[in-house]
Structure 1
Amino acid sequence: MFRKATKGQETRERLLAIAEAAVLTKGFAATSIEEVIAEAGITKSGFFYHFGDKNALAHEMLQRYVAANDDLFEQLFGRGAELSDDPLQGFLIGLKLLAETMADLPNGHPGCLIASVCYQERLFDHTVRQLTAESVRKWNTFFRERIEAIAAAYPPAEPVDLDQLAGMMSCIVDGGIIMSKALDDPGILPQQVLLFRSYIKLLFQR
């Protein structure tokens, strides 16, 4: 049985959503606590009831963002594994589903909070910087495990570092987000994911 969110929880979630949208639009440095408070329609004391300072806000915002991405990856690649027992085919299906999900975003991908922190890392304390690093390592491990299962069944056509290949996924997604924004073309990100899919297919499929 689901518990209904309390008013305090709803306010906290609204603050996180408002802050995330602002940060993805213009960065952490240009996002002030005052504007988040104004849009949420609460007092400054109400904000500080939920978050001790901007670093605390950033930390919880990142946790929320990472959890959402974790859920998305588990859902899409889990679906791929359900549709095929073959590790390569299941992974290819997951990548296709990911590309379709990115293509379905009405205004393109809003951006990456992890990248935003990295670009302005001096604004944050050790806890926030550590969370970004742990998040990237976790996603690299997620893809490494799946690629390792593929390599065990299908030796690669060319020598390849599986760790670097797993990390390539994050590089493609973040690079695709930047390119999409720079050229005002939301289609670039899903196309880049599909190109990675083609590379995986060529590297492992016989």
Structure 2
Amino acid sequence: MNQIIDRPGVNTDAAKGKGERTRERILEIAEQAVLQKGFGATSIEEIICEAEITKSGFFYHFKDKNELARALLLRHIDQDEIILDQVFNRGQELTDDPLQQFLIGLKMLAELVEDLPNGHPGCLIAVYCYQERLFDQEVRQLNQQAVLGWRDRFRTILDRVVVQYPPNEPVDLDELADMVSTVVEGGIVMSKALGRPQMLANQIMLLRSFVKLLFAKQAG
């Protein structure tokens, strides 16, 4: 952990604040570059140049490129958690029905990505999967944990749903929980490949329709 040594005449709180801002700036620049062209093609030198810092300034925050990779992924996971909490907790605030909570959350997620002016910028988890040979075991395991975290989140939601809404077709709930990830990741890829940002939101809404039909109570 980076530490700032107290010295007479030095405002350590201000120095710490500046250091945190610099670290965040490095992460923002690195993330944009990695999403645009991959981790392997992103150099420390270009990050330093863009951030307008010295090489020693970079290594003060990150001892090597692999540590940068870990920090980027942890930051990405934290941001995902915040967004998903906001979206799906909102459904719980609006209704006690677990299926409706899930459907509301999916709709809000679709609206959220639809409002992105230039489409979704991409997903670090997918980039890391494609280039996993560049990372050490810790980063690879962290990436796997991020994927499993999505599964756990949506499996918990689905466990509540099936109590009141038995599915109309046999379904593995872990696989269904994973479907949220595959639709989102696939939607990002398709949106970028075809130059149609709207596709991601459309795919999420199709998933919502599938979930609604899967758990719809049959008349009679």
Q: What TM bracket, shorter-length normalisation?
A: over 0.9
Counterpart mapping for 1:56-75 below 5 A: 56-75=67-86
Matched, 1:27 2:41: no
Residue type of the partner of 1:60?
A
Report the Cα offset of residue 205 of structure 1: 1.9
Any stretches of 5+ residues in structure 1 without a counterpart?
none
Alignment correspondent of 1:42: 53
List per-residue Cα deviations over 1:158-198 (Å, max 9, x = no partner).
00000000001000000000000000000000000000000
Q: Distance in 2 between matches of 1:66 and 1:24?
A: 15
Q: Partner residue of 2:206?
A: 195
Q: Matches of 1:39 and 1:81 in 2, distance apart?
A: 42
In structure 2, list runs of 5 or more residues that go unmatched.
1-12
Residue in 1 that maps onto 2:4: none
Where 1:6 maps in the other structure, the secondary structure is: helix
Structure 2 counterparts to residues 29-178 of structure 1, below 5 A: 29-178=40-189
CA apart distance, 1:148: 1.1
Stretches (4+) displaced over 4 A? none
Report the structure number with the largest CA radius of gyration. 2
Amino acid in structure 1 at the alignment position of 2:179: M
Correspondence 1:185 to 2:211: no
- How far apart are the structure 2 equivalents of 1:14 and 1:153? 47
SS of alignment partner, residue 196 of structure 1: helix
Quote the Cα distance in structure 2 between the aligned partners of 1:102 and 1:80. Answer: 17
Whole-angstrom CA distance in 2 between matches of 1:130 and 1:33: 23
Q: 1:110 is aligned with what amino acid? A: P
TM-score by length of 1: 0.97
Higher RCO by CA contacts (8 Å cutoff, separation 6 or greater): 1
Paired residues, number: 204
Secondary structure, counterpart of 2:40 in structure 1: coil
Post-superposition CA distance 1:57-87 (Å, at most 9, x none): 0000000001000110011000011001000
**Deviation digits for residues 3-41 of structure 1 (CA, Å, limit 9, x no counterpart):** 987000000000000000000011001100000000000
Which letter does structure 1 place at the counterpart of 2:134? L
Task: Supply the distance in 2 between the matched residues of 1:119 and 1:189 (Cα, whole angstroms).
Answer: 20
- Paired AA for residue 123 in structure 2: C
Q: Read off the aligned partner of 2:173 and give its amino acid letter.
A: L
Say what the alpha-carbon RMSD is for the aligned residues: 1.0
Equivalents in 2 of 1:205, 1:70: separation in Å?
Answer: 29
Q: Secondary structure at the match of 2:139?
A: helix
Deviations 1:83-125 (A, max 9, x none): 0100000110000000000000000000000000000000000
Corresponding position of 1:7: 18
